[in-house]
Amino acid sequence: MTTDYTEAAVCHIDDLHDGQLKEVRVGDTDVLLARVDGQYYALYPKCSHYGAPLAKGVLHGHRLVCPWHNACFDATTGHRLEAPALNGLPMHEVRIEGDQVLVRLTTDAQSRTNPLAAPQAHSTETYVIVGAGGAGAFAAEALREGGFTGRIVMLTQSPNQPYDRPNCSKDYLQGKAPAEWMPLREPDFYKQYGIEIRTETPVKRLDAATKEIELQSGETIRYDKALICTGGAPNHLPVPGAGLRHVFTLRSLTDSSQLRLLGQQGKRVVIVGSSFIGLEAAMSLRKLGAEVAVVGREAVPFAKVLGEKIGRLVQGWHEKAGIRFHLGREVRQFDGTGEVSAVVLDNGESLPADVVLLGLGVKPRTDFLENVPRADDGGVLTDEYLQLADGLYAAGDIAHFPTPDGPVRIEHWKVAGQQGHVAGLNMARPDAPEPYRMAPFFWTNQQGKRINYVGHAEQFDQIIYDGDPETDDSFLAFYGVDGIVKAAASLGRDTDIAIIRELLQSGQLPDPQTIQAGVDWPALLAKVTPQA
């Protein structure tokens, strides 16, 4: 008798406890084994986002968290629960024979979508998504995941369908990621699920009172529900010479492509702004062979977010790579005839420049909204379900969402994607809305070293270190405000920082005194009731 499947005994029934993970081998295939509530589950072992080894992640109840970028999956179904992963994980069959756990391979696919509803031509409802970034991409799929079968229209002024924007300052800018890697989905995917993406279609106004959207072309679209996720417009520098050619911002795939073309071997590039994006771009352009200088107002990069000790550490990484810093300085003007040739600082120093990149942050892109109150910074205020008016929702960089500390607006890819996912589900399922309560997370790649950050602390009065950033290859840093830990950062402590986010999200993060005394993070997580 022959079989058309591969099956193997992978462990003893008592080898794993609830919350444990183990990578095993079935034939020539690696499989992730997980134990949840006394049951074994077998899954594809790599994250569907960037291929991180999930065995090094965290299993908390049914929540399987990626160690690199904190994507989250349901270990019992394989479904994707949180951005930045779009796809879920394939499952394999598991059975118990005697005291052995056996796994039978059932698929060789690397990823799969969550179940999505098919569009129905007879539906008369139209849901519009304004913006095609991470929030818009996740929202469109969440509408179908939530069971919406009507018309979905995505409007974007970009020439591109949704793509992997964080890569624009990293591997793509370095020339290591080809253009075909950048789209989040193939065009056929959007056609299959009836998601109509209209590129190069700027919106002139959206009237929340009449539920009408007027395009720059003059066309008007009436919506039943809409999501605003237009992101941010890069800040410019109002100094003489700002309009010269080759003065760039980095917000889009087009921007990254232009910089990659111009910032080649021997070119002189000046980065204005020591932001995360600015220094990621400095790293990438230096890897292309450009001579790179960074101008920043701060005395130490990232001091306001990560503290001076970590900021100096990161600065040192870049300096070892040959990047020069001019800190505590401002730009007085750009010199050049037609094209930029120099950046003049407030101390009179002139930096030669073939290319200038402005990394000065963004402001919410909301000037087209009518009958929608705006916050002082131009963002919009949502409720806990990310709704801001009847039938109107917001997600991503423009959204101030409620937290116990008051409304907060966060400009991070994972946050935007997960907000889009929650908003899309709530639009599709108004009778069973889901509040947005995810602990914020972002990552940054600085000279090949990934720093992960969870939580949110606009200011802090205490930093607690587990490990010394000045001497150790890995560490944790906790940021306290009035005796409460609000955020944490890590280098080389991926599993611990994923656990910390689970604890923060559950409201179970220890106080500063407990953290200072030392914490066994896996043991602490095992005592915390998982989220439903």
CATH number at residue 46: 2.102.10.10
Residue 80 is predicted with a pLDDT of: 97
> CB within 8 A of 168, min separation 6: which ones?
250, 252, 253, 255, 256
Structure confidence by residue, pLDDT tens digits, 354-393: 999 999 999 999 999 999 999 999 999 999 999 999 999 9
Give the C-alpha separation, 460 to 240, whole Å: 36
- pTM, to two decimals: 0.96
372 and 417 housed in the same domain: yes
**Residue at which a domain ends, from 326, 360, 394:** 360
**Separation CA 207–CA 226 (nearest Å):** 11
Tens digit of each residue's pLDDT (9 = 90 or more) over 476-526: 999 999 999 999 999 999 999 999 999 999 999 999 999 999 999 999 999
* Cα distance between residue 352 and residue 356, in whole Å: 10
Q: What is the CATH number of the domain that holds 312?
A: 3.50.50.60
Domain membership of residue 457 (yes or no) is yes
- Would you say residue 116 lies in a domain? no
The per-residue pLDDT for 509 is 97
CATH number at residue 512: 3.30.390.30
Low-confidence ranges of the chain (pLDDT < 50): 1-2
- Pairing relationship of beta strands 441-446 and 449-455 according to DSSP bridges: antiparallel
Shared domain check, 352 and 305: yes
For position 467, what pLDDT does the model report? 97
Place of tokens 């407990």: 514
Residues 6+ apart with CB under 8 A from 92: 26, 31, 42, 43, 103, 104, 105, 106, 107
Q: Which of 340, 360, 380 is the last residue of a domain?
A: 360
Q: Which of 367, 371, 361, 475 is nearest to 409 (CA)?
A: 361
Q: Is residue 114 part of a domain?
A: no
pLDDT score, position 1: 40
Whether 521 and 499 map to the same domain: the answer is yes
Find the domain containing 75 and state its range. Answer: 7-104
Same domain, 477 and 415: no
Residue 381 lies in a domain: yes
Among 307, 335, 360, which residue terminates a domain? 360
What burial letters (b/e) apply to 308-328, b meaning 16+ CB within 10 Å?
A: ebbbbbbbeebeeeebebbee
> Residues 275, 355: one domain?
yes
Are 35 and 138 within one domain? no
How far apart, in Å, are the Cα atoms of 323 and each of 284, 293, 294?
11, 6, 7
In a domain, residue 224? The reply is yes
CB 525 within 8 A of CB 498: no
Q: Are residues 350 and 379 in the same domain?
A: no
In a domain, 240, yes or no: no
Pair (375, 356) in one structural domain? no
Number of independent structural domains in the chain: 4
pLDDT at position 95 is: 95
Q: Is residue 369 located within the same domain as residue 337?
A: no
Do 166 and 74 have their domain in common? Answer: no
In a domain, 486, yes or no: yes
Does the residue 120 lie in any domain?
Answer: no
Task: For residues 271 and 335, state if they share a domain.
Answer: yes
Q: Look at residue 529 in the predicted model and tell me its pLDDT.
A: 86
Q: What letter does residue 158 receive in the DSSP assignment?
A: S
Say how far apart CA 510 and CA 295 lie, in whole Å: 38
The helix (H) or strand (E) run that includes residue 225 is strand 225-228
**What are the DSSP calls for 319-355, one per residue?**
HHTT-EEEES--EEEEEEESEEEEEEETTS-EEE-SE
Q: Are residues 267 and 348 in the same domain?
A: yes
